[in-house]
Amino acid sequence: MRSSVLVAALSFSTAVFAAPTWHDWIDSWKPSHASGLEGYALDNPLGPTTGGKGGKAITVKTVEELVAAVAGDSPKIIYLDGEFRPSSRLVVGSNTSLLGKGKGANIIGEGINIYNAANVIVRNISVRFVEGGDGMTVQNSTRVWVDHCEFESEISLELGPDFYDGQLDIVRASDWMTVSYNYFHGKSSFSALQSLPLTSFRSLTNLPTLTDHWKSSLVGNSDVLREVDEGHLHITYHHNFWQNIGTRGPAGRFGHQHIYNNLYEDFLYQAIHSRSDNQVLVEANKFMGDTRTALTTYGLVVPEDSPNTCVCGDEELDGFANLGAKNDFGDAIVNITQVGDFTKAGYKYKLTPLKLLESVVRKNVGLGKVKV
């Protein structure tokens, strides 16, 4: 383990944004592609992510219809109308567009698996209260776009912080993804946990009854999978809103994540975590409220990230980070132990100026904000 050195203002961009005008706002908000897609899911060696384009479009209103519709790899556009409570996880095949109608569709109690698939779009859908697994797991899959979705779960004294797993986890050599305009959240503030001793996370006897999420988005799910993951896990995260979360916004191993124009509010413990030789390019993000660590490359996995492991946390190799356009880290810690060589994403994208970011993100993330 390399020693950790606090670098609070390392490699900040010297660019200065002029006072934004109405035209600046329009230009910054308008996506660079007609569909609204930008990032690795658009620009990659395999071609743009198009989902079920060219396939049959159907609307589903029951769980049985939904389960049948998402299966298989033929092109298909599936509109979800209403609320769905499946009895097992949904398995989505390749060449699929999974789209919530109108103000959005809700999937409750079970999550979504995108396994061994390619060319998948999920938009305008909420995934809530998934027990014993992730809200959405993308595994060994390429060209996936998750956009304008909402992820929510809860913690309580009875359930504990490991009752729910990740909200959106991307693992096992998955590649060329964009995660955009999503709302990751719980229902109330984590601040009551901040004063608890670490022993509280072992027994949970002092854990207050709260309704929030602990671990949000993990990229690469093991530090022993270098041979599987290295050279993959190119993920774009932009214009997402994380609110009342504990850790992983995102946490990455062995890959490359471009993280820009995201809004973080009350991300209590550790937001962006690059470890196990992972690389992140972090630019034009805003951190607000009660956030302890905005960005770290130190390999130590803090106990709050995995409360049921040892009290000292788990040690991995450090990761790497580069800072592009200026971020607003607020009062949060920035701990960059290694500067990497990931200085450019290699695709075109438009940054929303920091002065406008909070307004743009709050108004545009989540359900019912996009016509699908």
Determine the pLDDT at residue 195.
Answer: 42
Q: Is position 2 annotated as part of the catalytic site?
A: no
Q: What's the CA gap between 214 and 330, in Å, rounded?
A: 22
Q: Which of 248, 253, 275, 292 is catalytic?
A: 248
Peptide bond before residue 75 is cis, with ω within 30 degrees of 0: no
Number of compact structural domains in the chain: 1
Determine the pLDDT at residue 308.
Answer: 53
Determine the pLDDT at residue 305.
Answer: 77
Spans in the chain with pLDDT lower than 50? 1-23, 25-26, 28, 188-211
Q: What's the CA gap between 139 and 116, in Å, rounded?
A: 6
Instruction: Compute the C-alpha angle 240/241/245, nearest 5°.
Output: 125
Nearest in space to 256 (alpha carbons), one of 283, 278, 240? 278
* DSSP symbol at 293: E
C-beta pairs of 74-78 under 8 Å, 24+ apart in sequence:
75/51, 76/52, 77/51, 77/52, 77/53, 78/52
Q: What's the CA gap between 50 and 215, in Å, rounded?
A: 29
Q: What share of the chain is helix, strand, coil (3-state, %, to 5)?
A: 10, 35, 55
R_g over Cα of the chain: 19
Determine the pLDDT at residue 161.
Answer: 62
* Strand partners of residue 170: 138, 219
* Strand partners of residue 320: 279
Q: Looking at the domain assignment, is residue 320 inside a domain?
A: yes
Q: What's the CA gap between 208 and 3, in Å, rounded?
A: 34
* DSSP symbol at 339: B
CA dihedral of 217, 219, 223, 225, whole degrees rounded to 10: 140
Q: What is the pLDDT of residues 96-107, one digit of tens each?
A: 999 999 999 999
Determine the pLDDT at residue 340.
Answer: 98
Q: Looking at the domain assignment, is residue 144 inside a domain?
A: yes
Query: CATH number, domain at 141?
Result: 2.160.20.10
Helices in 140-289 by DSSP H: which ranges?
A: 200-203, 226-229
CB 242 within 8 A of CB 271: yes
Q: What's the CA gap between 187 and 167, in Å, rounded?
A: 14
Phi-psi region of 234 (alpha: psi -120 to 50; beta: other; left: phi over 0): beta
Q: Looking at the domain assignment, is residue 106 inside a domain?
A: yes
* DSSP symbol at 132: T
Q: What is the pLDDT of residues 5-60, one digit of tens each?
A: 334 334 333 333 344 444 454 454 555 566 899 999 999 999 999 999 999 999 99
Determine the pLDDT at residue 307.
Answer: 55
Q: Looking at the domain assignment, is residue 370 inside a domain?
A: no
Q: Which range marks the domain in which residue 233 is found?
A: 22-364
Q: Looking at the domain assignment, is residue 13 inside a domain?
A: no
Q: Looking at the domain assignment, is residue 4 inside a domain?
A: no
